A and B are shown apart, each in its own frame.
Chain A
Amino acid sequence: MSQAQSTNPNNRLVIKLVGIVCGMFVFGFAMVPLYDVFCDITGINGKTNETAVVYEATDIDRTRLVTVEFITKTTTGMPWAFEARTQRIEVHPGELNTVEFYVKNPSFRDIVGQAIPSVSPGTAAIYLNKTECFCFNNQPLLSGAESVMPMQFYVDPQIPQDLTFFTVQYTLYDVTAAAKTVAEAQASAE
């Protein structure tokens, strides 16, 4: 009987089906990195590069201008004042530009902030190359402190002709709970 069971066709089929179930469970989680890779390649969710790119001063397209607009937003529970010093800039594709953002922590507690950029229309995201950005790191601010944060970027000369205008939105989150201590975040930011 036990020998019959090991060759039981039911058992073999059940094992295969359980394999599919496990595979699909793993696939559910695999969708997370796949989604990121897919969006990285196509840039369709408006996400920009998360680490600095190196600026290659090759060809600057002087024949046309792209308008880049910056808007800022803080999420619920984030007390910082946060604004773009430059709200709108016209740039030549390929040219390196620097814009500044002002933050102030008016609250009575030390807070670690994290800015998340999002580009609209999303298709423009892959043409925005940041060589330096405050959004690459946590930004700690002691109670009452203020700061000016720079952001350096260039627009890829490959940007399609009809894309003449895009908006970069920075959303600021309070990540104090997730960043271990303000001091540690400060250390890692420096």
Chain B
Amino acid sequence: MSTATETAHHGEHDDHHHHAPAGLKRWLLTTNHKDIGTLYLWFSFIMFLTGGAMAMVIRAELFQPGLQIVDPNFFNQMTTVHGLIMVFGAVMPAFTGLANWLIPMMIGAPDMALPRMNNWSFWILPFAFLILLSSLFMEGGGPAFGWTFYAPLSTTYSSDSTALFVFSVHIMGISSIMGAINVIVTIWNMRAPGMTWMKMPMFVWTWLITAFLLIAVMPVLAGVVTMVLTDKYFGTSFFNAAGGGDPVMFQHIFWFFGHPEVYIMILPAFGIISHIIPTFARKPLFGYASMVYATASIALLSFIVWAHHMFTTGMPVAAEMFFMFATMLISVPTGVKVFNWVATMWRGSMTFEIPMLFAIAFVVLFTIGGLSGLMLAITPVDFQYHDTYFVVAHFHYVLVTGAVFSIMAAAYYWLPKWTGVMYDNTLAKWHFWASLVSVNVLFFPMHFVGLAGMPRRIPDYALQFADFNKWISIGGFAFGLSQLIFLALLIKACRKQGEPATSQVWDGAEGLEWEIPSPAPYHTFDTPPLIK
């Protein structure tokens, strides 16, 4: 009780004396979770467009067979940096931005627990990406070894700018770790009185579990890039067979990070979808407790499946069997989630506002990505699918129509709360339908060319793949252009052009964030609400 009064008192004190500096300084020095959330979200959107522009270069080169637009080394840099930017610059910061904006409002806290560290964890990010992008303009070029930076590609055969790649990954890692620590401490210590663990909103739950995954595996990534650095520049032999090391060990350590990483990029998406579907189906989430346990089991299982990325490295059959079955086991909790979303919609009074359209597209298309994942998990057939466009199709279905669609759904869902105005519905419809059609034209044919044997990460292909690739490229350009509609919509909303939003915004919306006015005031929940 005394803590609550103390916090309330402190909050008032803040209101009286807090005059936020204007202009650039406001953003540079801010410790406000909403400001930092906004910074993260805009940063991730800029990175999304940057990484997208690189994808356009890739698709332009692959429009026709033969080499025409860029040289292979630059093509390799494009595939590498596209991957790095989309993973570490677009998807992860977008989720951190959403966490910053939403977690304090959802649990009734006045701010994040560690506001200064919050400022720092955002502001080191632009420098990480500045370093990474600057290496593209250096002699010998930037990283060209794929986002997975397998040794010896990244050690023996990489360009001189590899040290910059390593440092930028270090900075990204430090930023994510600080963000994750902040999320855990906030959720652990700052929930409003009465908000027990099993009353927490799903987005908060999924982020809590994601944050634990982050602090468990980002340090391993930091370790493996450090080994690459010392192998390349300081003569160690972690991955060099001549000095007693083992290049296959790189893949083990990398994927020990890498597999939980893919769940880091999807668990918060599960949380978002678990908010949106109940709102527009006007029914409470079906199976809340099973959702929580499913999320936790996915997170735990993610630590014992890493070698399914390595079936073709010559593992013993027993190990291949273990990783195959462990991987397939993950489809059980994931299936529980999809079942629960469908059951939530079942006999609901559904309406199809834009966030709901994105959420339904997520459920359908993410499931397609999940099914191709199951196909890839089958060891004997993985030998054929490995490193083909089938894999590219699989992870773009789960990351673009999965993670990215969920982020867009979240943006549309909470945008009225953030800006105080409803988004432009015409632009939003154009954005959704254009994205939905083009994303499938872009990624679906990749399954076919992949099964037929088209290898990934190669700037040229056999003539038999020409027609499909033309369609894929057209889909790619259309998907890229569709995102400019989203940009226009966001600018409009940020300029407060649109119908004013009510505090509840959507009539089925439930949760603490819908009880405060729209736009959300700069300081919220100075006095913690009481949860019944």
Contact = CB atoms under 8 A, between A and B. Distances in A.
A187 B373 CA distance: 55
B224 A175 contact: no
B241 interface: yes
Given A20-B216, A171-B241, A175-B242, A10 B223 contact: no
Interface in A163-179: 171, 173-175, 177-178
Nearest to A18: B181
B113 interface: yes
A13 B217 CA distance: 19
A175 B245 CA distance: 13
B64 to A, nearest CB: 32
Contacts of A9: 189
B253 A28 contact: yes
B185 A17 contact: yes
A21 interface: yes
A49 interface: no
A96 to B, nearest CB: 26
B222 interface: yes
Given A27-B220, A32-B238, A32-B249, A44 B319 contact: yes
A68 B217 CA distance: 42
A45 B189 contact: no
A22 B248 CA distance: 25
B408 interface: no
A139 interface: no
Interface string B166-193: 0000000000010001001100110000
A79 interface: no
B348 interface: no
A50 interface: yes
Q: In the complex, which of the residues A20, A47, A174 has the most CB atoms of chain B within 10 Å of its own CB atom?
A: A20
Interface residues of A, number: 37
Contacts of B443: none
Interface string A9-42: 1100110011011111101110110010001001
Contact of B185 (A13, A25, A28, A47): A13
A143 B496 CA distance: 77
Contacts of B238: 32
B307 to A, nearest CB: 11
A17 to B, nearest CB: 5
B235 to A, nearest CB: 6
Contact of B223 (A25, A47, A120, A174): A25
B246 interface: yes
B188 to A, nearest CB: 6
B256 A31 contact: yes
B226 to A, nearest CB: 8
Contacts of B194: none
A21 B242 contact: no
A13 B184 contact: yes
B1 to A, nearest CB: 16
Contacts of A157: none
Contacts of A177: 235
Nearest to B256: A31
A122 interface: yes
B429 to A, nearest CB: 43
B244 interface: yes
A116 interface: yes
Interface string B242-280: 111010110011001000000000000000000000000
B224 A28 contact: yes
B252 A35 contact: yes
Interface string B397-427: 0000000000000000000000000000000
A21 B173 CA distance: 11
A10 B185 CA distance: 6
B219 interface: yes
A28 B114 contact: no
B248 A10 contact: no
Given A20-B215, A116-B242, A25 B189 contact: no
A21 B215 contact: yes
B514 to A, nearest CB: 27
Contacts of B23: none
Nearest to B239: A32
A178 B242 CA distance: 10
Contacts of B223: 25, 27-29, 31
Contact of A44 (B114, B177, B316): B316
B185 A31 contact: no
A120 B243 CA distance: 20
A123 interface: yes
B100 to A, nearest CB: 17
Interface of A: 9-10, 13-14, 17-18, 20-25, 27-29, 31-32, 35, 39, 42, 44-47, 50, 75, 114, 116, 120, 122-123, 171, 173-175, 177-178
Closest 7 CB pairs of A and B: A28-B223, A173-B242, A25-B219, A24-B219, A28-B220, A17-B181, A116-B241
Interface of B: 113-114, 177, 181, 184-185, 188-189, 215-224, 227, 235, 238, 241-244, 246, 248-249, 252-253, 256, 314-316, 319
18 contacts: A10-B113, A10-B114, A10-B185, A17-B184, A17-B215, A23-B219, A24-B218, A25-B220, A25-B222, A27-B223, A31-B223, A31-B252, A35-B252, A44-B316, A50-B244, A75-B242, A175-B242, A178-B243
